[in-house]
Amino acid sequence: MKTLTVKKLAEISGVSVRTLHYYDQIGLLRPSIRTEKKYRLYGNDELLRLQQILFFREMDFPLKDILEMMDTTDYDLVKALMQHKSALLNRKRRISDLLKTIDTTIDNLKKGETMKNPEELYKGFPEEVGTTYRKEAISKYGVQTVEQSEKELMKLGKSGVEALQKEMENVFSELFVLKNDNPESDIVQEHIARHYGIISKFWGDSVVSDQKPDAYAGLGDLFVNDERYLANVTDGSPQPEFALFLQKAIKYFAENNLEK
Amino acid sequence: MKTLTVKKLAEISGVSVRTLHYYDQIGLLRPSIRTEKKYRLYGNDELLRLQQILFFREMDFPLKDILEMMDTTDYDLVKALMQHKSALLNRKRRISDLLKTIDTTIDNLKKGETMKNPEELYKGFPEEVGTTYRKEAISKYGVQTVEQSEKELMKLGKSGVEALQKEMENVFSELFVLKNDNPESDIVQEHIARHYGIISKFWGDSVVSDQKPDAYAGLGDLFVNDERYLANVTDGSPQPEFALFLQKAIKYFAENNLEK
DNA sequence: GTATGATATGACGTAACGTTAGGGTCAAAT
DNA sequence: ATTTGACCCTAACGTTACGTCATATCATAC
């Protein structure tokens, strides 16, 4: 039978020599022969096994699991693959979330220098939250949808909008008083629900209904990420603890009341 | 000013005490005060800074980068975020690929892995190059010569062949990256040489030695004439420019290294 | 005075290798 | 026969972001 040295095997399989040493060490892939002088020699079976290993490694299985899978004769491969699949799906979702957050963060940063346009509508709200979501909404649902909903907002009239703004400020100051309570307590959650209601009205149709839970949950993160959002509630001084409190409260609310 | 002990800070920020120790150690987050007895005391600024850190950590930034970002005043945050975004997009794509592979694997396992026909050997190669050349080779050298060399290929075993296939795919994807370089540049030619080596092994004796230069040069033309040959390298979308690039590179290689 | 809880430093463990470091071995070329 | 150069071996540290003891000191309450 033809045998292969480490280097050869490394070359045709595309892994490093060190990797083969390591796999030998942890018992994942042992050479079929050790010569007098301790040289490793691999046969065809080992090449085959290595291919298997690399396949699973490609799938991001930890080596420990691979070892177990390959040494357990009655291993349920399909089940393992499906499990792994769901883990991958989770990772993917998480990355999608991160991407969203990055986008809004980039938006926020850029917005800091530019923008001063016709959206006086949003004045007075937790600093520029409205405009941020306006941009997001535009990119998601198109400009005309958003402008449509803004027209509806207009119908409320200046005074109507101001009333909403005032209401929102009230909720915030009430929440501020509760900042040392448990974010998941009933009373806090009631206020959060009120806040959500106001925000919803404010968003109108610019954020489509089934996107609102996500958008709202994202709000909590924004408070933490950029203290300016709370600046006009806390009269200027940074309140990281309050922001954290809001984040937790909002997260809890979104998870328990919005996702269906 | 209000100060926080490790435990307190850990609690309100949601990280472990050990993490704070560690961040202190690597200089990422130093307490503003060290008491007589070395107790760490953190002020508001540190809490704020920690929030920033955690934000970036959420984004999967390595701590080293976070440290640099936060200590470099003129750091281009937007740029960093966009870079990071593209990295995340890559991860996401990779995961999507893995998911696809897992699905097909599960399918295969359920169907009861068969495949053992002669043409199965050529699977994974630039679509049908193998079989096409089989036909061509047969018409040129006769059936028995080809079958003989296929027996030799069989000796490599499935895994050996797969290793070759993998190697070939690697070369292609590396070449794809270089597709805007000069086809006659050293680096491109090096990869072409590798490719030729692999093809040669694959052809074995089915293509007689002194015919290989011609056959190989012909390969470049095939790429241009039939886009399917590159289909599985370019994940489906036609890449006429890449094909032309390969054709030139191969022609140059054959003329300068193979003919004599 | 002592029990309890918080804090400190130090050091090992983790995953999967990469990377020297220091020394044998084998085949070909001299 | 020897030198070269390519290849082989083991040992061991470095990497990331902490978790988990171990051991010792400190603060607070009873």
pLDDT, one tens digit per residue, over A185-203 is: 666 776 677 677 666 665 5
Mean pLDDT throughout A148-165? 47
The overall average pLDDT reported for chain B is 67
pLDDT, one tens digit per residue, over B33-91 is: 999 999 999 987 788 788 788 878 877 789 998 998 888 766 566 776 676 777 777 77
The distance (Å) linking the CA of A37 with the C1' of D5 is: 20
pLDDT, one tens digit per residue, over B224-245 is: 655 555 655 555 556 667 777 7
For chain A, the DSSP string reads: ---B-HHHHHHHHT--HHHHHHHHHTTSS--SEE-TT--EEB-HHHHHHHHHHHHHHHTT--HHHHHHHHH-TT--HHHHHHHHHHHHHHHHHHHHHHHHHHHHHHHHHHHTTS---S-GGGTTSSTTHHHHHHHHHHHHH-HHHHHHHHHHHHHHHHHHHHHHHHHHHHHHHHHHHTTTS-TTSHHHHHHHHHHHHHHHHHHTTSS-GGGHHHHHHHHHHHHHH-THHHHTTTTTS--HHHHHHHHHHHHHHIIIII--
Sign of CA dihedral A226, A229, A232, A235: negative
- List the nucleotides on chain C closer than 7 A to a protein CB: 6-9, 15-19, 24-26
Tell me what pLDDT residue A194 has.
Answer: 63
Q: Residue A246, Cα to own-chain centre: how many angstroms?
A: 18
- Give CA torsion, residues B250, B251, B253, B254, to 10 deg: 110
Tell me what pLDDT residue B219 has.
Answer: 65
Contact yes or no for A65/A78 (Cβ under 8 A): no
Nearest CA in chain B to A97: B59
CB pairs under 8 A between A and B: 101
Whether the CB of B16 is less than 7 Å away from nucleic strand D comes out as yes
Footprint of strand C on the protein (CB under 7 A): A 16, 18-19, 22, 35-37, 57, 62-64; B 5-8, 17, 21, 37-40
The distance (Å) linking the CA of B42 with the C1' of D21 is: 26
CA distance to partner chain B, nearest, from residue A47 (Å): 6
Domains and CATH numbers, chain A: 6-71 (1.10.1660.10), 117-258 (no CATH)
ipTM of the complex: 0.47
**Residue A86, class by beta-carbon neighbours within 10 Å (0-12 exposed, 13-18 middle, 19+ buried)?**
exposed
Sign of CA dihedral B34, B37, B39, B42: negative
Q: pLDDT higher for B2 or A5? A: A5
Query: What residues form DSSP beta bridges with A4?
Result: A42
Please report, in angstroms and rounded to a whole number, the separation of the first and last CA atoms in chain B.
84
Nearest CA in chain A to B43: A240
Q: How many CA atoms lie within 13 A of A155 on its CB side?
A: 8
Phi/psi at A40 (5° precision) = -90, 135
**In which band, very low, low, confident or very high, does the pLDDT at B30 lie, cut at 50, 70 and 90?**
very high
> Do the Cβ atoms of A244 and B162 come within 8 Å?
no
For A168-236, the DSSP string reads: HHHHHHHHHHTTTS-TTSHHHHHHHHHHHHHHHHHHTTSS-GGGHHHHHHHHHHHHHH-THHHHTTTTT
Phi/psi at A77 (5° precision) = -65, -45
pLDDT at residue A131 above 90? no
Residue corresponding to tokens 């979330």: A97
Nearest CA in chain B to A245: B12
Task: Tell me the three state secondary structure of residue B33.
Answer: strand
State the nearest residue by CA to the C1' of D26: B37
- Give CA torsion, residues B165, B170, B175, B177, to 10 deg: 140
Residues 21-40 of A with CB under 7 A from strand D: 21, 38-40
CA distance to partner chain A, nearest, from residue B48 (Å): 6
pLDDT, one tens digit per residue, over B155-198 is: 444 444 555 555 666 677 667 666 666 677 666 776 777 677 66
Q: Cα(A97)–Cα(A101) distance, rounded to whole angstroms?
A: 6
